[in-house]
Chain A
Amino acid sequence: MKASLGKIIFISISFFAFIFCTLGIVSSFIFGESLQQMLNSILHLRIYEPYVGGKIVSSIFDPMYDDTGSGTLVYPSHTTFAEGNLDLVLYTVHEPVFNAAWQDFNEYWQLDFEFRTGFKNADEPNYNKSIYVYIHLDGKIGGETKTLFEQAENISFSQDHPWHYALSIAGKEAAIFNSNREKIDLAEVVYSSDGKKIIVRIPLRKKELHCLYTVETMHHYVLVGAYSALDFGNILPIEKRKSRTSGGGLVSRFAPKVYDVLYEKDQSQMLSSWNEDDFELSILYPVKINMKNVQSRTPLISQAKIKEIKDEKKLLEALLYKQQSERIQNLKNASLDSELNERALLFLHTGNKKEAENQFKMLLEKDPNNPSYLAYIGSLESMKGENAAVIAAVDAVNKGYAYLDKAIQLTDGVLEKLKNGEASEAELLHRLNALLNRGGNSQAVPNSVFLKAAQGVQDYLEAAEIAHISGLQILEAQCYWDAAICLLLDDKKSEAGIWKREAARIFQQISESDLENYSLEERQEFLSLYLHLFEEGLAE
């Protein structure tokens, strides 16, 4: 008896070890993403700073869509310039690094510039920016208030903060100068693969630059112009009308030739401060950079306020649910396609996915190439994978994406039509439905398995652009937020931060009076976004 019991225990433990090994290995791969998040919540991994440019001391966001200089400038018509290429959105300053191993320079100082858009085509990169960074070291005497190459940018600097060093980035080349306009050293310029980010590393091998290690505060002026290989200061000139070799929108020969400057508020007033009568150029004001004693500012979030917003949201959702259920009843005998479509959407919003799917499939039978129906069916198919077994879940998601990709394909080119003023409302609606549904799925499915997060970012950003042109502020802000979430899934924290900030900025522009005109659904979206932003400390 004892021997049998011993055998049973032995076999049981061996069986447990067998299960532990086999299921454990399989589970660690299937639930890999969750395990990674759990592990990172304990380890808080980050890369050793000298490999990634050094500790970040300052990140300054510049508003988007302000790449019009003093308000009138337009890009040259040359194909190398895509919309948003010269729109600076984030400027990051790192702490100077010393004794870095495995790098081109053991001592260097890194500055990062992020722009709203990148290369038109990754295979044909266009280095079309001419960036100037003028650096004032607080406490150092001397300095200059005129630009490095006079009349290149057509601006001057505040007397309180004359510059001591100037970094000139012209296309793919860069150099740093002192206030005597003597070149100190060449700097290294690296573009990210999508062209949205420029990393500049200034080697600190020359003694003249060693003071950068000890300075406590600085002031920076950052200016972005269009690159020209031939023109003075490598800045493309501005004329009244744009051409292949010049930008357009010139209103005065004293007006600045820069499209964007680093300024956290509206730059147009500052850039319009020239005075033709007194022959004075616009005076720029710098941003302050703290190089030492940098503490990350985690804003205090009021839990009471969060609860208040959540309660209001719940109330609104209950009201909306009631309204939608009543409407479903009213549409019981609907026969028109538009009413059936509305009914199907209402089923979806009230959580009745089966009915919604039936309705959409019925509608699709009548109109098989309707992108909106395809998009919603795709989402519904994909959602079936949520509670299914692993293999069935993968099949469901793949099936869903087949519909979603077709919806996107059928609506290609709508954004260009909209920019040319040729898109109809129906086309816009279909395109938005396709983008938002596919983007939503990309957020929901595990990125480590399906690798859809990057595609989700593109979908949401395109939807945001459509919303921006169409004046749909809440949708625009929501799309930026969702794009940021997809970027976080793709481990792109810095870029995610940019879009979250932009979502917050758009959100802040929505006034109380606008809210009064919003429908219940729009108010619900508003509150959801407000909650997200508030929890991150990006809204008041």
Chain B
Amino acid sequence: MKLWSSALQSLLLGLSTGTYCAMYCAPILIPFISGSENNSLKKTTVLTLLFLAGRIVSYVVLGIIFAGAGMLLSSFFNPVLARRLSVFAYIICGLILLQNFLVKRKLSKNTLEANKKACPVRMKLAVFTGNDFSTAVLSGLSVGLHICPPFWASLFLCVQSGSIFYACIIFLCFYLGTLPFFLPVLGLPFAVKKMPVLKQIAQMTQLLIAVYFIIFAGLIPLIF
């Protein structure tokens, strides 16, 4: 009974705060998916699922670290720590998006071939990290470094549950509660098909967001 009530509590927590999760992720997902090449509903679904998978892996790893370090004794988080983690999340995410943008722009065959000959290893690494699928996973991983109070509260519930199995169920319910707010992303390929100029706009937006994340949301708060 206690498990079900905690699981329900977690699910409701996710549903009630899911808009905030979607608001954090929108600047990354929307331009990235709209600007990706050969976009289709299938590809968009795969990219979104990869992003969400990256996110949950990050959350689970962070949760284990915090629980192990005894930080989850209080239902409220350390906001200063959360903000510091977010700074790194922005820098990493910004670099990933920037890499993806540069690889997209350099997709002409001749440029690729020329660079492969010059430095095959570096080129292979760039294409690997910059392709859409890797970008989705890596950006999902970095977004998971954002800690918001609902996430912390769900981790607190997990620790309180007393067993690893229960903790997993509770956390899964919280995560499932946040997912419905990502459904609108699946409509993006249809919009881009109707107005092809949206793809160019999305790619430029992605570049601007990447630069903003790296400099204004990352380096400036980190250094100063």
Contact = CB atoms under 8 A, between A and B. Distances in A.
Contacts of B82: 98-99
B160 interface: no
Interface stretch (A161-169, A203-211, A351-359, A452-460): A203-211
B83 interface: yes
A213 interface: yes
B74 interface: yes
A210 B76 contact: yes
Interface in A202-224: 204-205, 207, 210-211, 213-214
Interface of B, helix, strand, loop or mixed by DSSP: helix
B80 A205 contact: yes
B27 interface: no
A107 B75 contact: no
Most chain B CB neighbours (cut-off 10 Å) among A98, A107, A204, A214: A98
A8 B82 CA distance: 68
Interface in B72-88: 74-76, 78-80, 82-83
A106 interface: yes
Contact of A106 (B76, B78, B79): B79
Interface in B110-149: 149
Contacts of A107: 79-80, 83
Nearest to A212: B76
Contacts of B74: 210-211, 214
Interface residues of A, number: 11
Contacts of B78: 207, 210
B3 to A, nearest CB: 24
A207 B74 CA distance: 13
A345 to B, nearest CB: 61
B83 A214 contact: no
A104 to B, nearest CB: 13
A279 B123 CA distance: 84
Most chain B CB neighbours (cut-off 10 Å) among A207, A210, A211: A210
Given A106-B83, A107-B80, A205-B80, A98 B149 contact: yes
A362 B90 CA distance: 78
Interface string A93-112: 00000110000001100000
B79 A214 contact: no
Interface string B144-179: 000001000000000000000000000000000000
Interface in A4-62: none
B76 A99 contact: no
Contacts of A99: 79, 82-83
A293 to B, nearest CB: 14
Contacts of B83: 99, 106-107
B9 to A, nearest CB: 16
B76 A214 contact: yes
A204 B76 contact: no
Interface in B52-86: 74-76, 78-80, 82-83
A214 B149 contact: no
A98 B75 contact: no
For the complex of A and B, 6 pairs with smallest distance between CB atoms = A98-B79, A213-B76, A214-B76, A107-B79, A214-B74, A205-B80
13 contacts: A98-B79, A99-B83, A106-B79, A107-B80, A107-B83, A204-B79, A205-B80, A207-B80, A210-B74, A210-B76, A210-B78, A213-B76, A213-B79
Given A98-B82, A207-B78, A210-B78, 19 more contacts: A98-B79, A98-B149, A99-B79, A99-B83, A106-B79, A106-B83, A107-B79, A107-B80, A107-B83, A205-B80, A207-B80, A210-B74, A210-B76, A210-B79, A211-B74, A213-B76, A213-B79, A214-B74, A214-B76
